[in-house]
C-alpha cells in the first residue's frame, strides 16, 4: 500500500473552507465531503482563522 500524498491547499482555499465552517450552515462532515478534505483539517483551519481575526 502506498503512502498518501499530501496536498498543498492554497491560502484562498483554506480561507474559503474556514469561512464556510465559521458560518456553520453545514456540518463539518458535510463540508469535508463537499471540499474533499478531512474534518480535522477543517477544524484546524477554522481555529487558525478565528485566531487570526483576534490579532
Domain coordinates in residue numbering, the chain? 11-53
pLDDT digits (tens, 9 = 90+) for 19-39: 999 999 999 999 999 999 999
The reported pLDDT for the residue numbered 2 is: 59
The reported pLDDT for the residue numbered 5 is: 73
The answer to whether 44 and 20 are in contact (CB under 8 A) is no
Mean pLDDT across the chain, nearest whole number? 92
- To the question of pTM greater than 0.85 for the whole model, the response is no
The answer to whether 39 and 32 are in contact (CB under 8 A) is yes
Q: Is the pLDDT of residue 1 over 60?
A: no
Amino acid at each position: 500500500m502506498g503512502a498518501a500524498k499530501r496536498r498543498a491547499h492554497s491560502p484562498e482555499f483554506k480561507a474559503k473552507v474556514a469561512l464556510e465552517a465559521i458560518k456553520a450552515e453545514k456540518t463539518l462532515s458535510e463540508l469535508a465531503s463537499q471540499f474533499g478534505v478531512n474534518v480535522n483539517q477543517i477544524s484546524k483551519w477554522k481555529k487558525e482563522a478565528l485566531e487570526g481575526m483576534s490579532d
